[in-house]
Amino acid sequence: MPTATLKIFLAYGDPKRLRTAELSNWTGKAVSGPRSEVDKLLAREESSSPGVYFLTGTDPETNKSTIYIGEAECIRDRVKSHLAKDFWNNITFFITKDENLTKAHIKYIEGRLIEVARSIERSVILNSQGSGAKLPESDREDMEIFLEKMQQVLPVLGVESFVRKKTITEEEKQEEFLSCNIKDLKATGYLTPNGIVVLKGSQAVLEERSSAKKWPSVLVQRNKLIEDGSLVKLDDAFVFTKDIEFSSPSSAAATIHGGSANGLTSWVNSKGVQLKQLQNV
């Protein structure tokens, strides 16, 4: 993405409360805040405009982030219909300052956002399906640019469902790839702004460590990955069936080792240098 200057206004001085965000030289504007202040968000003039909105929260059973992506010709009226639902705890919506978004435009953006979020798989998408809309070629290109700008702003406002995993070129692999080895098994991964990605085909031990009984919380994510098929048994090991991003090197190492592990010492580069030493350089 191109470099950008982002202006954030904290309506009450608190970065967790109601705030607005605007990129320089862009007609879009975002308004975001916690559910506890939804009345204040909906009282703002921007909420009477057409736009796209995001209701985000956490699934209490799986602890995965959840998101509902919607569009409306009047955001205020549409969001009120969601007040009886308890899955969300934050709302973010986008409008244009030049009031140039039509119904077709916002339906197209909504459909594309659902498509992107599903492909990235960072969150549970609560939409049953995306509406979408066909647009003339020139309008479609304009909306793709608008979509790109939205994706620059959303993570700053705490919505990470559209953050793509970092990709590494063949030239970068030798330098950036890390490995986590145990009992002749090997896992490979690389650091990201959000933690670490363990690559498809990486291995993890079958047996859990005895210490896991004392601190079972470290294996919560491992068990969930086994349940959803992201970790499957193959011969004498579990194997990752797809790339999985963990919040930290230690949480990834715990999944691989079958119990508590220090990610800073478990992960090493191609020369055997521990992550702890690499980050102290």
Number of domains in the chain: 2
Tell me: do 40 and 148 sit in the same domain.
Answer: yes
For 84-106, the pLDDT digits (tens) are 988 999 999 999 998 888 999 99
Residue-wise pLDDT tens digits, 57-87: 988 777 778 999 999 999 999 999 999 988 9
75 and 210 both lie in a single domain? no
In-domain check, residue 165: no
| Largest Cα–Cα separation, the chain | 62
Domain range enclosing 214: 170-278
239 and 212 in a common domain: yes
93 occurs within a structural domain: yes
164 occurs within a structural domain: no
Instruction: Please indicate, yes or no, whether residues 198 and 99 belong to a single structural domain of this protein.
Output: no
Tell me which residues of the chain have a pLDDT lower than 70.
Answer: 130-131, 165-175, 281
Task: Tell me, yes or no, whether 192 lies in a domain.
Answer: yes
According to the model, what pLDDT value does residue 144 have?
94
Residue 163 lies in a domain: no
Task: Name the token pair of 112.
Answer: 């594309």
Instruction: Report yes or no: 173 and 139 within 8 Å, Cβ to Cβ.
Output: no
Q: Is the pTM of this model over 0.75?
A: no
User: Do both 133 and 231 map to the same domain?
Assistant: no
Query: Of 157, 186, 210, which residue constitutes the final position of a domain?
Result: 157
Contact by Cβ (8 Å): 200, 165: no
